[in-house]
Amino acid sequence: MYRHGIPGFAAAAPAGNAAVLVVKDERGQPHRGKVFAAVHAHLDDVPYYASGLCAKLMSEGYTGYIVRTSNDEKYGGRTTAQNILSNEEDHFRMAAALGFKDVFDFYYQNHDMNGISYIDLRGRLILIFRMLKVNTVLTFNPWGPGEDDPDHWVTGRAVEEASWMAGMPNDFHEHLEAGIQPHTVTERYYFCAQPGQPFNRVVDIGTHIEKKIDAIVECKSQGNGNRGSIVRAQLARQGKRLAMLGNDDRAADRAYARQFLLDNDREYGKQHKLQYAERFYYVDHRKPSKSKADEYIETNAVRI
Ligand SMILES: [Zn+2]
């Protein structure tokens, strides 16, 4: 990721969002037994775009897995190899903070994912979706406007295709021989990552904001998660302090994130009288258990 929204953008809702559903916390564990996979490209994508929803889904019974497709080698301010390592370590810590059960890192070359074997990426996702029996995916909008980071749109498109293809018995016969059965992903939440991208769900993340901050402050190699402690140290060298940054690095990072890194969430929430919200384009491919044809046959078939 290299940008996270433009301040003020949220004040004008994009066109095409006439039917927006505001989603609040659900009581109990309505999603117990269900599995979601959050598939992003870079360390800080899920933390900014969807960590509130991830925390909400897990609190409602979902088991969550996270997949990072790129190796994040361009971010971290050190050598390429050091950047890969520090992003990897941050990513594990971020995933643990949110409560993901497992992490999959694909390590495709950062910024160059439009040059990779797309079929290879899609096939790897199909294996994971089948193996984990993923019901729901969270990822980039594959066709959202304004997405000029190839890692984002390549990842979104591969997830979109893998979601239905994972359910096709004629793709990857060897999976079946290994005991891994076809399994369709039926629900998708696409991030609203850039100005102008469509959304039809506004998710109230007010009760999950501390988890979102937990995730953001682990984004130290990129994503400004350690900005508070950096500012605190800079001020200390000048013989100054900022009261809001508290008395230690962790408090400084959390305070900075809360004050300066959640503007989009506050803005998205304000329009619906919520304190914090995230936006998604939700796609539902769940089918009724019986088709019209099944019902007709059941009702009308007579003994000969
Ligand atoms: Zn990104």
- CA 7 – CA 130 distance, rounded (Å): 39
Which residue ranges form the domains of the chain, and what is each CATH number?
A: 25-203+280-286 (3.40.50.10320)
Output the CA 303–ligand 1 centroid distance in Å. Answer: 61
Output the CA 25–ligand 1 centroid distance in Å. Answer: 27
Q: What percent of the chain has pLDDT over 70?
A: 94
What pTM, to 2 d.p., does this model score?
0.91
- CA 130 – CA 181 distance, rounded (Å): 6
Average predicted confidence (pLDDT) for the chain: 93
User: Residues 4-43: pLDDT tens digits?
Assistant: 333 323 333 344 556 899 999 999 999 999 999 999 999 9
Mean pLDDT of the region 179-184: 97
Name the residues around ion ligand 1, CB cutoff 5 A: 1, 41-42, 45
Output the CA 237–ligand 1 centroid distance in Å. Answer: 33
CA distances 12 to 17, 209, 263, 269, Å, are 11, 23, 14, 13
The lowest-confidence range among 10-14, 51-55, 264-268 is 10-14
Output the CA 111–ligand 1 centroid distance in Å. Answer: 9
Output the CA 178–ligand 1 centroid distance in Å. Answer: 34
How long is the chain? Answer: 304
Output the CA 146–ligand 1 centroid distance in Å. Answer: 13
Mean pLDDT of the region 268-275: 96
Output the CA 83–ligand 1 centroid distance in Å. Answer: 15
Q: What's the pLDDT score for residue 224? A: 98
Output the CA 6–ligand 1 centroid distance in Å. Answer: 15
Output the CA 1–ligand 1 centroid distance in Å. Answer: 2
Judged against a pLDDT cut of 80, whether residue 204 lies above it is answered with yes
CA 56 to chain CA centroid, nearest Å: 12
Mean pLDDT of the region 82-107: 98
Output the CA 46–ligand 1 centroid distance in Å. Answer: 9
Q: What percent of the chain has pLDDT over 90?
A: 90
**Cβ within 8 Å of residue 48, ≥6 positions away:** 1, 4, 216, 223, 261, 264
Output the CA 76–ligand 1 centroid distance in Å. Answer: 14
Judged against a pLDDT cut of 80, whether residue 288 lies above it is answered with no
Output the CA 95–ligand 1 centroid distance in Å. Answer: 16
Q: What's the pLDDT score for residue 82? A: 98
Q: Name the band, by pLDDT with cuts 50, 70 and 90, for residue 291.
A: confident
Output the CA 32–ligand 1 centroid distance in Å. Answer: 30
Phi, psi angles (nearest 5°) of residue 148 = -100, 5
Output the CA 268–ligand 1 centroid distance in Å. Answer: 20
**What tokens were used for 48?**
């900014």
- CA 140 – CA 283 distance, rounded (Å): 12
Output the CA 41–ligand 1 centroid distance in Å. Answer: 6
Mean pLDDT of the region 177-194: 97
Output the CA 114–ligand 1 centroid distance in Å. Answer: 14
Output the CA 15–ligand 1 centroid distance in Å. Answer: 24
Output the CA 297–ligand 1 centroid distance in Å. Answer: 50
Judged against a pLDDT cut of 50, whether residue 151 lies above it is answered with yes
- DSSP secondary structure letter of residue 20: P
Output the CA 45–ligand 1 centroid distance in Å. Answer: 5
